[in-house]
Structure 1
Amino acid sequence: MNQQVKVHGALLTVSLIYGANYSIAKEIMPTYVQPFGLIVIRAVSAVLFFGAMSLFVVKEKVESRQDWGRIILCGIFGIMLNQLSFFSGLNLTSPINASLIQTVSPVVVVLMSAYLLKERLKVFRMAGILLAGLGAMLLISGKAGNAQGNTWGDILILLNAISFGVFLVLAKPLMKKYQAITVVSRIFLVGAVGVIPFGWQDVLSPDYATFPVSIWAAIAFVIIGMTILAYLLNVWAMKTASPALVGVYIYLQPLVAIIIAVWLGADVFTWQKALYAAMIFGGVYLVSKPKKTSN
């Protein structure tokens, strides 16, 4: 199979997983497990799985101090800030609001790439940044007319989108040097150390014996699909894909999230949200529009 087909297949799978997660995770929080407790469960499970893979299968070491510094930053932005803000925000706001705001991540990717790689920002990209930012701010301000949203929840989701965008740019150089398991195992180790103090008590407090099968299935999806499979596929794809391409696939998440949330009756989609969604999608399209190549 062509390598590009594999990359797009991996990123499409990640988008489907993330899109479904908005409604599935809402079934768990906060009735059964508090947000920070679910984060700790995710992070510790990932450390155990990826750590075992790294020790017994890949057996690759990270020796450069500079690379370790970048791994620590990836752990902070890609796991700690990313997950704490995401699950806290999702616990407060609606699945549709969360999925729409997430599409700001590609804008952050372009800005960070321009800063780190010294690339010039084109006029249409600046216009895209303003358009996407305005759409996100209108959604956050509550002017979408949806009582199911929450301002603080939306702000936390925006912080999550920003931190994930930063993570994509930071992780790219690591993927050129190391295997995916090597990078992900170290990133989750750093992230787990950061999130355990916030959620350890929330892990111990639930009465797990009372959980119905559907909630255990949802937790299994969050651990296996959202955590292990999604992060592994994302990081693996970045070996050959640009951070911008990885970010572009975030566009599919709201579509999946909206279909699932409306189908489950967990949210409603209004015409105001459709308008703000169009602003966000239009903005991120302009930002991620590839450069024209001369013949």
Structure 2
Amino acid sequence: MRNTSLAHLALFAVNLIYGANYVVAKGLMPGVIGPSGFILLRVLGALVLFWALQAWHPQRILWSDGWRFLLCGLTGVAMNQLFFFNGLMRTSPVNASIIMVATPVLVILMSGVLLGERIGWRKVLGIGLGAGGALLLILARPDQGPTSGGRLGDLFVLINATSYALYLVLVKPLMRRYGAVTVMSRVFLVGAVVVLPFGLGELSAVAPGNWSPAIWWSVGFVVVGVTFVAYLLNTWALRHVSPAVVGAYIYLQPVLATLFAWSVLALLKDDHAGAMQLVGWPQVASAAAIFTGVHLVGRADRRPV
């Protein structure tokens, strides 16, 4: 199988993990741990795993790339996570979801400006279909709670979307020179240093001795799956596809989150009535638009520049 095809499988797996995270990690914050402490736990846990792998395959980096590693750690780990979770506390889930739809659009624009990538009609149409499908799915969700959100929270989520888009563009040149583990070990080291003063107080107040097995499994899934594995696969995929393709896959998250929630209700909790409320024609139409959009962006990425 070609590396490009493997990259698409990796990106699908990443967003499947992210989709499952909406169900698995629900309830951890703020009852078990505060948002900034949870971020620090994720970053430190993944940092240990990345450096453990790095010890098996050490790779030296050029001093001239130091500034790029610093920016990637700042935008891809620290700003990305701190602004998202703190923004989500200050705005509604609907507002946050709609603002995050801007991420793939920002990725394409930044790729064109900073990397000189061509923005063809397939990418524009694909991103448009994906954005439309994601918005349809978000707005069709039941029980979303209040639709009004604070302006500060909206601004935080927008900063999160912008910083992650910038990270995807900045990290691409590093993947041409280094392995994914080498890049992630340095990026998370920078991120940990920045996040430490924000999350140390909340993390030190945690009492893991009182955690149930379900909480331990949820925390383990978030640290190992959502943080370590997802970042590693995402970064490796960037070695073989453009940032625009990685960004387009973000649109799959609400679809996969809905399917995962449906599976939990229908198969594990035997709540078929509740499961059927999650899947209807709006969900089918939005999924078709999103998958078509991702396919178009992937097709455009394979065309010679």
- The residue type paired with residue 61 of structure 2 is V
Instruction: Name the SS of the counterpart of 2:300 in structure 1.
Output: coil
Going from structure 1 to structure 2, the CA distance change for 1:93 and 1:253 (only over 3 Å counts) comes to: farther
Question: Are 2:175 and 2:236, in contact at CA under 8 Å, matched by a contact in 1?
Answer: yes
Going from structure 1 to structure 2, the CA distance change for 1:174 and 1:138 (only over 3 Å counts) comes to: same
1:156 aligned partner: 156
2:221 aligned partner: 221
Give the number of aligned pairs.
Answer: 291
Output the CA distance in 2 between the equivalents of 1:110 and 1:91. Answer: 28
- The residue type paired with residue 255 of structure 2 is L
Going from structure 1 to structure 2, the CA distance change for 1:83 and 1:50 (only over 3 Å counts) comes to: same
Instruction: Name the SS of the counterpart of 1:151 in structure 2.
Output: coil
1:290 aligned partner: 300
Going from structure 1 to structure 2, the CA distance change for 1:98 and 1:259 (only over 3 Å counts) comes to: farther
Output the CA distance in 2 between the equivalents of 1:254 and 1:137. Answer: 10
Q: CA deviation at 1:138?
A: 11
2:48 aligned partner: 48
Q: CA deviation at 1:105?
A: 1.7
Q: CA deviation at 1:145?
A: 9.3
Output the CA distance in 1 between the equivalents of 2:109 and 2:32. Answer: 38
- Give the gaps of 5 or more residues in structure 1: none
Going from structure 1 to structure 2, the CA distance change for 1:26 and 1:291 (only over 3 Å counts) comes to: closer
Question: Are 2:101 and 2:131, in contact at CA under 8 Å, matched by a contact in 1?
Answer: no
Question: Are 1:26 and 1:91, in contact at CA under 8 Å, matched by a contact in 2?
Answer: no
1:252 aligned partner: 252
Q: CA deviation at 1:103?
A: 3.4
Match status 1:62 vs 2:72: no
Question: Are 2:79 and 2:163, in contact at CA under 8 Å, matched by a contact in 1?
Answer: yes
2:76 aligned partner: 78
Output the CA distance in 1 between the equivalents of 2:123 and 2:14. Answer: 26
Q: Aligned runs of 1:193-232 on 2, under 5 Å?
A: 193-232=193-232
Q: Which moved more, 1:187-196 or 1:126-135?
A: 126-135
- The residue type paired with residue 60 of structure 2 is K
2:171 aligned partner: 171
Q: Which moved more, 1:116-125 or 1:72-81?
A: 116-125
Output the CA distance in 2 between the equivalents of 1:38 and 1:117. Answer: 34
Question: Are 1:96 and 1:261, in contact at CA under 8 Å, matched by a contact in 2?
Answer: no
Going from structure 1 to structure 2, the CA distance change for 1:102 and 1:281 (only over 3 Å counts) comes to: farther
- The residue type paired with residue 13 of structure 2 is T
- Give the gaps of 5 or more residues in structure 2: 266-273
Q: CA deviation at 1:150?
A: 5.5
Output the CA distance in 2 between the equivalents of 1:160 and 1:270. Answer: 29
Question: Are 1:22 and 1:95, in contact at CA under 8 Å, matched by a contact in 2?
Answer: no
Name which of 110, 113, 132 aligns with 2:111.
Answer: 113
Q: Deviations over 1:15-52 (max 9, x none)?
A: 10111112333320111111100000011112211122
Output the CA distance in 2 between the equivalents of 1:116 and 1:41. Answer: 33
Output the CA distance in 2 between the equivalents of 1:17 and 1:145. Answer: 23
Q: Which moved more, 1:98-107 or 1:222-231?
A: 98-107
Instruction: Name the SS of the counterpart of 1:27 in structure 2.
Output: coil
Question: Are 2:134 and 2:251, in contact at CA under 8 Å, matched by a contact in 1?
Answer: no
1:241 aligned partner: 241
Q: TM-score, normalised by structure 1?
A: 0.80
Q: CA deviation at 1:260?
A: 3.7
- What is the aligned-residue RMSD (CA, Å)? 4.0
2:270 aligned partner: none
- The residue type paired with residue 231 of structure 2 is Y
2:20 aligned partner: 20
Output the CA distance in 1 between the equivalents of 2:114 and 2:80. Answer: 20
Output the CA distance in 1 between the equivalents of 2:236 and 2:9. Answer: 12
Going from structure 1 to structure 2, the CA distance change for 1:49 and 1:130 (only over 3 Å counts) comes to: closer
Q: CA deviation at 1:93?
A: 5.7
Q: CA deviation at 1:238?
A: 1.1
Instruction: Name the SS of the counterpart of 1:28 in structure 2.
Output: coil
Output the CA distance in 2 between the equivalents of 1:155 and 1:85. Answer: 9
- The residue type paired with residue 254 of structure 2 is P
Output the CA distance in 2 between the equivalents of 1:35 and 1:291. Answer: 36
Question: Are 2:70 and 2:187, in contact at CA under 8 Å, matched by a contact in 1?
Answer: yes
Output the CA distance in 1 between the equivalents of 2:43 and 2:130. Answer: 31
Question: Are 2:78 and 2:194, in contact at CA under 8 Å, matched by a contact in 1?
Answer: yes
Going from structure 1 to structure 2, the CA distance change for 1:94 and 1:174 (only over 3 Å counts) comes to: same
